[in-house]
Structures are given as structure tokens and as C-alpha cells.
Structure 1
């Protein structure tokens, strides 16, 4: 099987858009100023029987190639609705460059309504990138996404939420890559999206995530987290839709004025994990400031006897917590991220 089958046009610097050539050969190429929709299929044995909806949009003017993906985790719904709203609304004649939008990436997980993992092989789709051409369904899909969706793109936007039993404060994520041009643009992309928080991770050395691998491949890469707990609300969909519009303005895909936004910047912090199987009651809400030593919740056994009251080991923002009652040993209970001044 071939590797990258994309045919990107002239690659500019991060300050200069690439050409208006539609770079993704995995779907039929739209004409200039045209939008096409359909379902793509891959011939790999592991992916046989599945198909992926897509929107392919080619502007009438030069600009960057933007890939937008949602539902790498099938139980994270707001990104699906936000991506669909954007894809159906966009008018190609007003677009500079091109877009490929995949609103439901993890088809097996989506239809099974499963949390975190893909049912056929039990693997987490966002932990196996860059994938394996000869692996299981989850690994082969990751490889195909990297080779045929990410590789031809200039910009990669990965839409997530808290999973079926996670509550979180809406935030964007980016990587500090040590490249002034890329770092400036991804910072502006995160700020423009308009969410309350943005977290900057250090340049990844080894990562299984789509956004991390896209960043290592030199793309303008960001990850979005809005909503959670298996809910699909119009409010969350609209937040993602407007955030995508804002971000596309930053990278030059769309024109228009950017609204004023206020964002609190965070850095990678600490995940508190369950020491044993237990019943869990969180004492913090997403976005709540905590101090070192604060009680974060209580763990009980199945007879209601208290087992432990985990405490924060650092000050920061409780960015998300597990909302399920049942927790297994090793499950992440609360994620605390220190706030920084920019």
C-alpha cells in the first residue's frame, strides 16, 4: 500500500498560505468554489465494511488546507454537531484554500456508544497514532488518517469532549514546538476559539494522539474539548461552530472580524488516579481553582465505608473530573493544571 497519496500544492511558510490546489486524493476533488459530500472507504481488510462521511470544500482563492476531525472517541458528540453545522454552512466561494471535514471518525465506537475505546479491539483511538498499516482496526485507521488526511493538510483541528462519564471545563490544547511561526499561530488559534481555558503542552517526544503527531509533522495543530457526559446539546454545538469560524479566520480560510476573547492559559499538570476499585464522589467542579492539600473527593467501598479522601498535590485549575460513580484502579479522577501568565 502506498504512503501519503495526497498531492499538496505549493507549501508556503506558516506566514504564507499554500496554493488553492485541493490536496486530498482520498476523495473526489471538488472544482474551484465547489463543495462535495459523500462517504469514503478504505480497502484495508481491517476497515472493510465501514464508511466515513466527509465534506470536501475547495475555495476559489489560494489558502491553507484545513482538516477538521470529530468523534475520534465515539461518545463525544458536540464536535460531531459543530463540524456538521460548519460543513453545511460554509459557502465555498467565500473560502480561501480548502477543507476536508470528517464529522464521525470512529465509526465502530460511535454506533456502539462506547467510551474511550474502539469495540473490535478495545484500543483507544487517540493513543495509537501514528498507527500501523498491518495492525488492528484502530491502528490501521490511525495510519490511514495520518497518511491520507493529516499529511496533505496545513492545519489539523481535532474536536473532542469529555467522554461518556467525564465532566470538563471547555478548553483548547496546543503544543509548544519551538518554532516561532508555528507557535505564534497556534497560540492565536487557541485564543480566538473563545473557550475559557487553553493549555500548552511541551513538544511531544513520543505521543499516541492525533494532534501530537500532527504537530510533530509540522502542522498547525490544535485539540478542542467542549462538553461531555455523553450529551449533545445545541449550546455546545454552537460554541464549537463559532470557535471554528474564529479559528478559520486566524489561518486565513475565512474573512471577517475576530471577536474579543479572554482566555486563561494553563500548562500540563497532574492526573490524580484511583488507588483501587471504588465508588467515587467528586468534591470539585470543572474549572474550579484548587490549592495544594485541598480535598478533591471521596472514595467509598460498596458498603459505603469511606476508603480515602484524595487531595491535590499542587495548586491549579481542576480542568476535568470523572463523573461516574464506579471507578476502577488507575482511572483518572481529577486533572489539575497550573495557571500561567502570558
Structure 2
């Protein structure tokens, strides 16, 4: 109904194992585009979830053009279980499960519902994340880009830039397997992009903790986006200091042990500089970690445990700007 807010609790699962997805739909007073938003795809990433709660009060249906479909907590199993990355109900990562399966595991069913009932009904799509329990993360917006999808790539860029973050990361998908029809999209917003929707991510918040500054930044980003899409009135202010990151470097651990970081997210590092070191469980150093390129630390492991093959650090290459 125009000018209203409706709440739905969607149940998925089997007779023996069920979960719910809380979804709010904000209907504007006038017809217009549909913006799909997901929070809590990783249930330990609290800042987007709490921002979604507050957005319900901030967005007035009487001042909205179009419709917002807000998935309040996509992964309630992870949220209630306080479990980073995976859904403890089946041990799967929801953000590696798209487009899902109607008769699959409980996480695959969640992905299937969001793919068919939220993303498919959206004209634009935002997936909101933050740094999970071990992740010291620097806030940024990101958009999907593909050489064969110029129109929606450009729309996604405008969406990401409008949000006001200092850094915008480009998720380049040209030639990626998950963009091919015969391969699964894996990621929530990648599924939206694959369906032909302009898709962006918000990454804001760190270490699975609740910080009011991160919540406010996410709320402001969504409000700016709504203005840029002309779903609400007003002008949005562009960040004149914006830096576009076209390439990222992922540094993984060669060992299982204890990680001691020497830098923090948002810090600029030079190629070859020390990022930290790893010891074994007896405190003996077994590896030094160095930056493989110069740039800004978008993410670094912020807690001691580390497993072989795990990502230790992500560096955004500021030398490759648009």
C-alpha cells in the first residue's frame, strides 16, 4: 500500500530445521524504482544490521518515491549464534551460496529466496557489510563493473560515488567465472549484477563491534544514495577527496599460528614494508609478512589466530586510480 511500511517474517528450511528472514518493505507515496537492500548476510557484522533498524525510522514513506525492500538480517542463524562468516545451522557461508537452491541446505534456501524474491524485484541493489569478528576493516563503497555491461556498470559507479565514502573499490568481473551462466554467482551483490541490476556494496565497521560512527556513516550513505536515485528529495554532496581503487592485493598466510599485525586498516603502506609477523604456538617467529605493493590497507587480520591459506591483509592500489 502506498505510503506504508510493512514487516514480514519469512520462514525457510525443512520440517526439522527452520530459520526466519525478517524483511521490511517501505512503500513510497509515489510509484518509482525499487531499491533492494540486504544486511546481515554475515550475522556477526553488526553495524549494517543496526543501521537498517535505524533507517526504518529515518525513511519516511510520505517522502519516498518508489519502494525499498530491506532485508533486516539475512542470516539470523549466524546473528543469533554469534558466528562469524558461516551459518551455524549448516556450516555454509551465505555470501558464497548464491543464487542458492530451493530444495538445498538452509543457507542455500536463504540465498534462493533473496535471489528470487528480493533481487529479482529490485531495480537497484545494495549489500551492506562490515568487518567480521577478526577483520580490522577500512570503510568503503564498491560497485560491480563489467566491460560487457557498460550501462549497469556506470549506474553502479554513480551509486557508489554518491554514498560519500572516501574510497570506492571497483569489483571487476570481466572474464570472471561467476559471471558466466553456467557458474553460480556466489556473492549476494554479484547475483544482483548478474541479473542485470546496478549493484553496490557498503563495507563499514570493524572487528564485529558496534561503533556509532560506523552506523551513522552507513545511514548517511543510504540517505545520499536515495537522493541520487531521486527516491527522496534534496541534493547529495559528493566527496571531493574520493579515491577509486581499481586493483586489490590479497596477502595470505603460509602458516597456521599467531599473527601480530604492525599496521592498521586505513594506513598507507609502501611496497616491501612490514605488515606483521607470525609465530608458532610456542612464540617462535616463523614468518614475516610484507606488503607486495604500495597502497592503503583496506583490511588486516585484527585478532591473533591465523590458519594457513587465510587472508591476512588486503591492500588497495592507489596508483591505479580513475
Aligned to 1:205: 177
Match of 1:69 among 15, 38, 49: 38
Determine helix, strand or coil for the equivalent of 2:289.
coil
Aligned to 2:228: 250
Cα deviation code 1:15-35 (max 9, x no counterpart): xxxxxxxxxxxxxxxx11111
Q: Distance in 2 between matches of 1:47 and 1:166?
A: 34
Asked if the contact 1:120/1:137 (under 8 Å) is kept, the reply is: yes
Cα deviation code 1:282-331 (max 9, x no counterpart): 11211222222111111111221111111122222211001111111111
In the alignment, structure 2 segments of 5+ residues that lack a partner are 179-184
In the alignment, structure 1 segments of 5+ residues that lack a partner are 1-30
| Alpha-carbon distance change, 276 to 184 in structure 1, aligned in 2, over 3 angstroms | same
Aligned residue runs from structure 1 range 83-98, under 5 A: 83-98=52-67
| Alpha-carbon distance change, 187 to 46 in structure 1, aligned in 2, over 3 angstroms | farther
Q: Distance in 1 between matches of 2:172 and 2:150?
A: 14
Asked if the contact 2:140/2:169 (under 8 Å) is kept, the reply is: yes
Asked if the contact 1:47/1:141 (under 8 Å) is kept, the reply is: no
Computed over aligned residues only, the root mean square deviation of the Cα atoms, in angstroms, reads: 1.6
What is the CA distance between 1:48 and its match in structure 2? 5.2
Aligned to 2:138: 169
Match of 2:162 among 192, 211, 229: 192
Match of 1:301 among 271, 276, 280: 280
Aligned to 2:85: 116
1:33 paired to 2:3:
yes
Determine helix, strand or coil for the equivalent of 2:18.
coil
Number of residue-to-residue matches in the alignment: 311
Q: What is the TM-score of this pair, normalised by structure 1?
A: 0.87
Q: Distance in 1 between matches of 2:274 and 2:289?
A: 6
Aligned to 1:24: none
Asked if the contact 2:253/2:309 (under 8 Å) is kept, the reply is: yes
Asked if the contact 1:295/1:311 (under 8 Å) is kept, the reply is: yes
| Alpha-carbon distance change, 47 to 316 in structure 1, aligned in 2, over 3 angstroms | farther
